[in-house]
Amino acid sequence: MIADAIRVLAGDCTVIVDGDDREEYRGRVTTLVKPDNTVLVHDVDGYQPVAWLTRADSVSSERAGGVTLVARKDDRLLRIAAHDRDGFAHYPASSAGVPVGDCPNPDCGGVLVRANGVHCVDCGDRYGVPADAAIRDDRCDCGLPRMRVERGLAFRVCLDRDCESLDEAVREAFDREWTCPDCGDDLRILRRGGLIAGCERYPECETGFAIPTGVVDGECACGLPTFDTGGGRRCLDATCERVREESAAPAEG
């Protein structure tokens, strides 16, 4: 179920902005209160609001003698009082994004969009996806689209990580495949904030490398794998310069 809502107050209103200076307006306006407490007061002219308050500390409503919205942030106050109210309502709202498929929930049937992850615009079901993931047309058995993510290999897994885990796919492919350059023990595929190849002797050995976006295409002179990424070829160790040194070296002959 969609939890967020936009509040709308429309009608003949007095708008008072009180801060360093005091401003007062009156007209038939529409006021929007977004879920993050940003307040926008619009009239018929142009695209810019008559008045606004970004991410107010508090927004309250009073109904005595009509409807009045009061928003406060630090020492600024925005007050909208309706003399003749056309409407005051709450409407479900979500982030707008690019459609990527239909919601597989049999009780919903809404549309999935990509915006801050992937979510359904009707029931609100949400799935976190990596920023570099490409959403595919093919579907998992659960009904959700799959995503393509490069983490050493190009993996295609379900949007729902409880259904098909990207971590498990990377772990199956690369766990213990590489050697810690500091102590010689195996590097394990772990999640510590993000996916890393970290020494199994942690915390005695704290060596760990974030797994970059890209596919493994060889071995660096330091012994770690190299990755073909959107920004060029690089070592698993982002601080290693040997790959760049090799690329810059003149060809023999």
pLDDT digits (tens, 9 = 90+) for 150-197: 999 999 999 999 999 999 999 999 999 999 999 999 999 999 888 999
Query: Cα separation of 241 and 252, whole Å?
Result: 21
Using one digit for the tens of pLDDT, what is the confidence trace for 62-71? 887 789 999 9
CATH of 5-92, one of 3.40.50.2300, 3.30.450.270, 2.70.180.20, 3.30.930.10: 2.70.180.20
Percent of the chain topping pLDDT 90: 80
Rounded distance, CA 186 to CA 106, Å? 45
The two three-digit tokens of residue 205, written as one number: 């050995």
Is 252's pLDDT higher than 60? no
Average pLDDT, rounded, for the chain: 91
What is the rounded average pLDDT of the residues 91-95?
Answer: 89
| pTM exceeding 0.85 | no
Q: What are phi and psi of 149, to 5 degrees?
A: -135, 130
Strand order from edge to edge, sheet including 194-199: 187-192, 194-199, 208-210
User: What is the predicted pLDDT for the residue at 111?
Assistant: 95
Strand partners, 12: 28, 84
pLDDT in tens, 15-70: 999 988 899 999 999 999 999 999 999 999 999 999 999 999 999 988 877 899 99
Looking up tokens 């500091």 gives 182
Number of H helices, E strands in the chain: 2, 20
The winner for highest mean pLDDT among 92-96, 105-109, 216-220 is 216-220
Evaluate if residue 113 carries a pLDDT over 90: yes
In contact, 178 and 200? CB cutoff 8 Å: no
Q: Put residue 209 in one of left, alpha, beta given phi > 0 → left and psi -120 to 50 → alpha.
A: beta
Section 95-116 average pLDDT: 92
CA distance 95 to 107: 21
Report yes or no: 103 and 122 within 8 Å, Cβ to Cβ.
yes
Burial category of 248 from C-beta neighbours within 10 Å (exposed 0-12, middle 13-18, buried 19 and up): exposed
**Upstream peptide bond of 92 is cis (omega within 30 degrees of 0):** no
3-state helix, strand, coil in the chain (%, to 5): 5, 50, 45
